[in-house]
Amino acid sequence: MIYSICNEKGGSGKTTLAINLATKLNTKNKTLLIDLDPQKSINAFLSFRDENKMPFDFKSSNNEELQSLITQALQNYANIVIDTGGRDSKEMRSAMIYSDICIIPTIPNGLDASVLDKMLDYLKEAKKIQKKLKGFVLITKANSNPFLKYKIKEFQEFLKSKNTKKDFCLLDSILYEREAYKESILQGKGITENLKNSKKAQEEFLQVFQELERNINGNK
């Protein structure tokens, strides 16, 4: 299964999601994480790890090499996760076309909503080429203040209004803005790797992962 994490807006949590998704997938089946982001943020994460205890295999790539890398990797890996940069690029669009699953993380605010319209258009175009592509929208970095839950609800309703033709699946599970994600990256660990003071973040990520699995397998 090939997963791409895409959003042309920076700061939406793509790399954090890619790292945690690859870490969790690798506990079940051998997983390769491909970094298409020119900033190479994943290299910083891996620099904190013991090189003999990596949570997944890793390769940096570019648009010219991507197709051949994926073709070779499919012979050795059950899962491939592709992290893309925070801008519209050939790399991002290629990643979508080569994927089975495209996840678009988006922050629940007006600025991200305007960019999301464009991302959903890119997704539609990619699905014309890659017929089996399934698109998912995931709300990330949401404010955990209970008094602001209505804002998240409003954003969910806005997303549902954009999906009248069922072009994507809006995940009910949400990733909230929590220090635990930043701390885990600085420790070179995925959020599910038994970190202290990260119970809520772990539970939230596992909910996202399990919901994603159910939708992929057709068991909503």
- pLDDT, tens digit (0-9, with 9 covering 90-100), for 6-50: 998 888 899 999 999 999 999 999 999 999 877 777 888 888 876
The 10s digit of each residue's pLDDT in 155-214 is: 999 999 988 888 999 999 999 999 999 998 888 889 998 667 789 999 999 999 999 999
Q: Name the token pair of 49.
A: 């790890």
Distance CA 173, CA 178 (A): 15
**Residue ranges making up the domain that contains 29:** 2-216
Give whole-number Cα distances, 18 to 15, 78, 183, 189, in Å: 5, 16, 16, 12
Return all residues near 101 (Cβ < 8 A) that are at least 6 apart: 1, 2, 3, 4, 133, 134, 136, 212, 216
Distance CA 189, CA 125 (A): 35
Phi, psi of 114 (to 5 degrees): -65, -35
Q: Into how many domains does the chain fold?
A: 1
CATH number, residue 68: 3.40.50.300
